[in-house]
Amino acid sequence: KAGVTQTPRYLIKTRGQQVTLSCSPISGHRSVSWYQQTPGQGLQFLFEYFSETQRNKGNFPGRFSGRQFSNSRSEMNVSTLELGDSALYLCASSGGTGGFLSYEQYFGPGTRLTVT
């Protein structure tokens, strides 16, 4: 079974631009979570989607948004990029429908975003 894929793997953007990152979950998985990883803050939860609905959201500004499609693929968007948005963005999929079952997550390789 193919793992979680993320595109693009690397991205360089300029301050003020916007960016869209894509995540394809493991086949059959309906839950997708997104995380941001920086050297200073570590791994931080952005949001989680299940059946096209956002069920949980982390403590990030409204510039960070996401969506999920009917095939469970997910995208996240960051508008008005800031230098501090430079990070590794990871998505993870889970076969669980909720609660404890949603914590067994399988991560993609991440998208490395650099904002200049």
Partner 1 sequence: DAKTTQPTSMDCAEGRAANLPCNHSTISGNEYVYWYRQIHSQGPQYIIHGLKNNETNEMASLIITEDRKSSTLILPHATLRDTAVYYCIAPGGTSYGKLTFGQGTILTVHP
Residues that bind partner 1 (CB under 8 A): 4, 31-33, 35, 42-45, 48, 50, 55-56, 58, 90, 92, 94, 98-100, 102-110
Q: How far is the CB of 48 from partner 1 (least distance, A)?
A: 3
70: buried, middle or exposed (CB in 10 Å: 19+, 13-18, 0-12)?
exposed
| φ/ψ of residue 2, rounded to 5 | -70, 150
User: Cβ of residue 50: shortest distance to partner 1, in angstroms?
Assistant: 7
In the complex with partner 1, which residue's Cβ is closer, 14 or 59? 59
> What is the smallest separation between the CB atom of 52 and partner 1, expressed in angstroms?
14
Joined tokens for residue 35: 């995380």
Helical H segments across 2-88, by residue range: none
Nearer to partner 1, 14 or 53 (CB): 53
Closest CB to partner 1 among residues 108, 113: 108
Q: Which residues contact 48 (CB under 8 A, 6 or more apart)?
A: 31, 32, 33, 34, 54, 55, 56, 57, 102
Task: State the minimum distance, in angstroms, from the CB of residue 61 to partner 1.
Answer: 18
Q: How many other C-beta atoms are found inside a 10 Å radius of the C-beta of residue 29? A: 19
Cβ-based nearer residue to partner 1, 24 or 94: 94
